[in-house]
Amino acid sequence: MAFRSRFVVGLALRAGLLLLAAFAFVQSLYVPGLGAARVVAALMCIGAGALLWRFIQRTNVEIARFIDAVRFGDLSQGFAYRWAGSGFAELGEALDQGIRKLRDERHNLSDANRFYEAVLDDAPIALLTVEADGKVELANKAARRLLVRHTGVRTEDFAEYGDAFAKALAGGSVGRPRLVPLMTEGVPQTAMISAAVVHRLGGLVRVVAVQPIQSELNAIEIAAQSDLIRVLTHEIMNSMTPVTSLAHTAAKLMSEVESSDPNVRDARTAVETLARRADGVMHFVESYRQISRAPEVRRRTFEALPWALEIEALFRAGAGGEGVRFTLSVDPESLALDADPDLLCQVLINLLRNGAEAARAHSAEPRLSLSFALTQSGRTQIEIADNGAGVPEALRQDIFLPFFTTKQKGTGVGLSLARQVVLAHRGSIAVDEAEGGGALFRILI
């Protein structure tokens, strides 16, 4: 309002000055002998007209400069005037306030963008974007840590992690999560995949979330197995304890009976056999009770090479290492492990003994290897390979189940306990086929 009133006053004064100069010039034309006055009046007309034009044009120039500053994103411009009386100080202040508000909004928007970019990049779930033409982009750190083996940016390039995963990226239901097998770092696992469609730059983009849940599934499975084993062993031991006690009592009483009757001798033999088998069943059940107890992991950081050399020495010193060519590899030699060395050592020793036994039974030149390597994702990969008969593909998931064994004298405890120890380290264990045949156990810690 102040700008309008001052602008009108300034405009009226300059217009009046122009009219006065024009009137003086016209009057000088009718009076002879006023040549000099005529020139002065003409100059006054020109000057008054220039003042009026500049006064009017100043507003247009400042507004045009403001629009250009907004259009080109140059929000560092200033429009404030120090002189007063013409109304342009108010105009400049208004334009300055507009520029400051735009500048503040730009800063706020930039801060918000940085915040959301940081949230997206540090999100714990792997996120990928899939363009309409099939181009895939890893959108955050979790995706770049999880998917490190492929080369290329097309959906078909992700078949490295399994055909089902590549098909899930190429298409699928939106907003409905589904479970898809995912092969990462040579270890099969299950991932939950969900997708959403968002608009970007005038087009539609699918955002795919990939969340490996194998560790959660393993934890649930182990807990269910432990509960089942705990209940079964408890009930069996409650039932077998009096049977065992009575069997021993009967065997003791029968041993004190002196008789030449063959029926008595047969009864004594039967009772003694019953007592021994009752002890065997109790020992068998007791051995499975350890599966129901979660291993207590005491993690610490230690050098892998000297620890691996100790494992090699333990293996060679045992009977299982005789006649087996053993190779050890640690890459890099400065590799450090964050694990429980005692529990993990027991796992590796059992796997090495199993591998040596399989190699000796199948090959005239049994071979066994133990290797440690650092993966692209920063985890430690431990591999135990032999040249035995290998594990049939149909049994590769079953061998880690409690009570399952392919050995005549096996108990089905060793690999199940090994899996429990690895899972307690938040790791994974799987079996594959080694080069040239045989079994390859791969552990990721």
- Helix residue spans in 290-432 (DSSP H): 304-317, 341-362, 414-424
Domain match, 50 and 140 both:
no
CATH code, domain with 269? 1.10.287
Residue 118 lies inside a defined structural domain of this protein:
no
Residue 379 lies inside a defined structural domain of this protein:
yes
Domain match, 161 and 109 both:
no
Domain match, 130 and 163 both:
yes
Instruction: Report the C-alpha gap between 193 and 147 in whole angstroms.
Output: 14
Residue 102 lies inside a defined structural domain of this protein:
yes
Per residue in 36-58, pLDDT (tens digit) is 777 787 888 888 888 777 777 66
Domain match, 435 and 336 both:
yes
Domain match, 332 and 427 both:
yes
Query: C-alpha dihedral over 193, 398, 341, 350, to 10 degrees?
Result: -160
Residue 10 lies inside a defined structural domain of this protein:
yes
7 Cβ neighbours under 8 A, 6+ residues apart = 59, 86, 87
Q: Is the pLDDT at 380 greater than 50, yes or no?
A: yes
Instruction: Report the C-alpha gap between 70 and 80 in whole angstroms.
Output: 16
Q: Mean pLDDT across the stretch 128-146?
A: 91
Per residue in 222-267, pLDDT (tens digit) is 777 677 777 777 677 777 888 888 888 888 887 777 767 788 777 8
197 contacts 204 by C-beta, under 8 angstroms: yes
Domain match, 328 and 422 both:
yes
Provide the domain limits for residue 174. 123-212
Confidence of residue 319 (pLDDT cuts 50, 70, 90): confident
Domain match, 258 and 372 both:
no
CATH code, domain with 131? 3.30.450.20
- The domain boundary, picked from 292, 324, 343, lies at 292
CATH code, domain with 423? 3.30.565.10
pLDDT score at 329: 95
Strand pairing category for 336-339 and 300-303: antiparallel
185 contacts 379 by C-beta, under 8 angstroms: yes
More confident residue, 175 or 127: 127
Domain match, 400 and 304 both:
yes
Question: What count of Cα atoms within 13 Å lies in the side-chain half-sphere of residue 371?
Answer: 15
Q: Mean pLDDT across the stretch 1-8?
A: 58
pLDDT score at 185: 73
- What is the token pair recorded at 89? 């100080």
pLDDT score at 411: 58
Angle, CA of 179, 183 and 186, to the nearest 5°: 155
pLDDT score at 340: 92
Q: What's the residue count for the chain?
A: 445
Angle, CA of 188, 190 and 195, to the nearest 5°: 130
Domain match, 317 and 418 both:
yes
Domain match, 305 and 425 both:
yes
Domain match, 314 and 422 both:
yes
The mean pLDDT value of the chain amounts to 81
Confidence of residue 304 (pLDDT cuts 50, 70, 90): very high
* Number of domain units in the chain: 4
Strand ranges (DSSP E) for 52-140?
126-130, 136-138
- The domain boundary, picked from 180, 196, 212, lies at 212
0.85 exceeded by pTM: no
Residue 414 lies inside a defined structural domain of this protein:
yes
Closest by CA to 328, choosing from 314, 342, 338, 340, is 314
Domain match, 422 and 307 both:
yes
Burial of 361 (0-12, 13-18, 19+ CB in 10 A): exposed
pLDDT score at 409: 60
Handedness of CA 22, 24, 30, 32 (dihedral sign): negative
- The domain boundary, picked from 212, 235, 268, lies at 212
Residue 35 lies inside a defined structural domain of this protein:
yes
Residue 384 lies inside a defined structural domain of this protein:
yes
pLDDT score at 83: 47
- What is the token pair recorded at 96? 């300055």
Residue 438 lies inside a defined structural domain of this protein:
yes
